[in-house]
């Protein structure tokens, strides 16, 4: 039996009520039993928050690895795992195994591979994988070039009431590219693709989603043109959503200077105008989810010439910390930020989480938004420290992560 837990003296952030109030929370049998004033059971343990902020645990949509230490350090309590595993999650048995990987400290919600082996050709048995526990279906790291395959995928997913998570880069333009066309790519002599490759992929997939009535989610967008397409499609009633990770609203392609392979990402970093457009899209609600795109890669993948290095960043541990910049800059109120990190991804995939109401799962994160520290890739808790924010002084730190009423960090 898990002892009751009383969290006292917290600033409680409720993303649904959009409130920020001081109070206490009582947890019994892995659920939130009371919020506000209450008499705790005699055998309850007590955690004094000392005025720190308490919010629903983060629900990270689209991680590429199960990295328990990084998730605990970053306040992540549920993860939607991308199908890009070894082997790819294209079979019901693989989905079942992935779903059991983190319990009870972390709930992993596998995303099914859209095509066999993520090849982009033959559709996988999506219905069987949904029955096995898949929360969604995804194209993986790459765009499905065959429009017929993508059309059938969207139609099939619509019939199953599954969200399709799409990668948005036209592979005909981006093949072999490692940067965005522009001054930085030219200066460093890097193979590059035009930023419009993202909007071209988004335009086609929105058209197919509109035709089939399917729900489509672009896991990570980064350009003004793509945000404009999503904004217009939403206004027409298309079931389209999109996400972003902190790198794309905090960094431009200037970060690749010195051939910094930690800044080798997919999609590649964009210019300052696109960064400004990303912030505007977050502000006006075009962006639905903020995710970490957590992809821990070791020296064998990153300590290479820039064009040979693998794309990806370790992001779960710093997701909340970096996103808090949006609150300090006046882009979002704190409850709205928590909604993008927790409530919205849970709702999008039909998962528990993202709420702090009585009866909800006791998945919580306690954090100090004012704590100063420096990101150090060599000292990160996770499997690898490949972050483009290495060495950056930051403000805001996770203090405690609680999963189902149990302190895991």
Residue with tokens 């693989």: 94
Of 350, 354, 356, 322, the C-alpha closest to 340 is 354
Cα(4)–Cα(27) distance, integer angstroms: 6
Residue 33 lies inside a defined structural domain of this protein? no
Does residue 10 fall inside a structural domain? no
Under the banding of pLDDT at 50, 70 and 90, the label for residue 409 is confident
List, as own/partner pairs, every contact residues 203-206 make where C-beta atoms lie below 8 angstroms and the sequence separation is at least 24, other chains included.
Answer: 203/229, 204/147, 204/150, 205/150, 205/166, 205/168, 206/230, 206/233, 206/238, 206/240
**DSSP code, position 4:** P
- Whether the CB-CB separation of 82 and 63 falls below 8 Å is answered with yes
* pLDDT tens string 178-204: 999 999 999 999 999 999 999 999 999
Q: What CATH number corresponds to the domain at position 140? A: 3.20.20.140
Give the pLDDT confidence score for residue 201 in this predicted structure: 98
pLDDT in tens, 347-360: 999 999 999 999 99
pLDDT tens for 306-316 read: 999 999 999 99
CA proximity to 143, closest of 105, 193, 186: 193
pLDDT of residue 207: 98
> What's the predicted TM-score (pTM) here?
0.96
- pLDDT reported for residue 103: 74
Res 1 pLDDT > 90: no
- 120, pLDDT greater than 90: yes
Residue 24 falls within a domain, yes or no?
no
Task: Tell me what pLDDT residue 101 has.
Answer: 82
Neighbours of 281 (CB within 10 A): 24
Contact between 403 and 89 (Cβ < 8 Å)? no
Tell me what the pLDDT averaged over the chain comes to: 96
Q: Percentages helix, strand, coil for the chain, rounded to the nearest 5?
A: 35, 25, 40
- The string of pLDDT tens digits covering residues 140-173 is 999 999 999 999 999 999 999 999 999 999 999 9
Interhelix angle for 196-212 vs 224-236, to 10°?
Answer: 20
Average pLDDT over residues 308-336: 98
Residue 102 has pLDDT above 80, yes or no: no
Preceding peptide of 21 cis, ω within 30°: no
- Residue 2 has a pLDDT of 86
34-49: per-residue pLDDT in tens?
998 899 999 999 999 9
Domain contains 50:
no
Distance separating alpha carbons of residues 284 and 320, to the nearest angstrom: 20
Q: For residue 260, what pLDDT is reported?
A: 96
Return d(Cα 287, Cα 405) in angstroms, integer.
31
* Helices 272-283 and 224-236, packing angle to 10 deg: 30
Phi and psi at residue 396, in whole multiples of 5°?
A: 110, 125
**Cα–Cα distance for residue pair 299/334, rounded to 1 Å:** 36
Q: Is 122 exposed, middle or buried (0-12, 13-18, 19+ CB in 10 A)?
A: exposed
In total, how many domains does the chain have? 1
Task: Check if the beta carbon of residue 166 is closer than 8 Å to that of residue 205.
Answer: yes
Residue 77 in domain: yes
For residue 269, the 8-state DSSP code is P
Q: Are 57 and 342 in contact (CB under 8 A)?
A: yes
For residue 356, give the nearest of 27, 1, 2 by alpha carbon.
27
In a domain, 145, yes or no: yes
Give the span between the Cα atoms of 345 and 290, in whole angstroms: 8
**Assigned domain for 146 exists:** yes
Supply the range of the domain harboring residue 162: 57-354+370-392
Residue-level pLDDT at 105: 72
Evaluate whether residue 387 is within a structural domain: yes
Residue 192 phi, psi (nearest 5): -135, 160
Instruction: Compute the chain's Rg from CA coordinates.
Output: 21
């Amino acid at each position: 039996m898990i002892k009751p837990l009383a969290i006292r003296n917290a600033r409680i952030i409720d993303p649904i009520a959009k409130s920020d109030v001081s109070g206490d929370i009582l947890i019994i049998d892995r659920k939130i039993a009371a919020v506000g004033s209450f008499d705790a059971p005699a055998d309850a343990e007590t955690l004094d928050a000392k005025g720190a902020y308490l919010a629903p645990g983060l629900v990270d949509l689209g991680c590429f690895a199960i990295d328990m230490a990084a998730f605990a350090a970053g306040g992540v309590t549920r993860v939607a795992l991308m199908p890009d595993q070894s082997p790819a999650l294209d079979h019901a048995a693989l989905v079942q195994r992935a779903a059991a990987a983190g319990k009870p400290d972390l709930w992993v919600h596998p995303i099914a591979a859209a095509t066999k082996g993520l090849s982009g050709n033959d559709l996988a048995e999506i219905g069987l994988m949904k029955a096995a526990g898949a929360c969604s279906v995804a194209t993986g790291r790459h765009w499905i070039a065959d429009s017929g395959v993508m059309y059938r995928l969207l139609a099939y997913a619509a019939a199953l009431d599954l969200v399709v998570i799409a990668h948005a880069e036209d592979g005909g333009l981006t093949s072999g590219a490692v940067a965005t066309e522009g001054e930085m790519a030219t200066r460093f002599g890097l193979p590059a693709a035009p930023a419009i490759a993202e909007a071209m992929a988004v335009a086609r997939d929105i058209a197919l989603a509109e035709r089939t009535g399917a729900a489509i989610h672009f896991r990570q967008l980064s350009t003004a043109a793509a945000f404009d397409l999503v904004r217009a499609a939403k206004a027409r009633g298309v079931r389209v959503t999109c996400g972003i990770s902190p790198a794309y609203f905090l960094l431009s392609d200037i970060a690749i200077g010195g051939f910094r392979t930690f800044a080798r990402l997919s999609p590649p970093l964009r210019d300052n105008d696109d960064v400004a457009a990303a912030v505007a899209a977050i502000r006006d609600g075009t962006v639905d989810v903020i995710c970490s795109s957590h992809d821990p890669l070791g020296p064998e993948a990153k300590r290479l010439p820039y064009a040979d290095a693998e794309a990806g960043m370790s992001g779960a541990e710093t997701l909340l910390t970096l996103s808090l910049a949006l609150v300090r800059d006046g882009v979002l109120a704190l409850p709205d930020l928590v909604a993008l990190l927790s409530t919205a991804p849970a709702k999008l995939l039909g998962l528990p989480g993202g709420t702090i109401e009585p009866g909800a799962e006791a998945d919580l994160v306690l954090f100090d938004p004012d704590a100063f520290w420096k990101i150090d890739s060599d000292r990160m808790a996770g499997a690898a420290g490949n972050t483009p924010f290495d060495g950056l002084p930051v403000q805001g730190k996770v203090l405690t992560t609680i999963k189902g009423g149990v302190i895991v960090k």
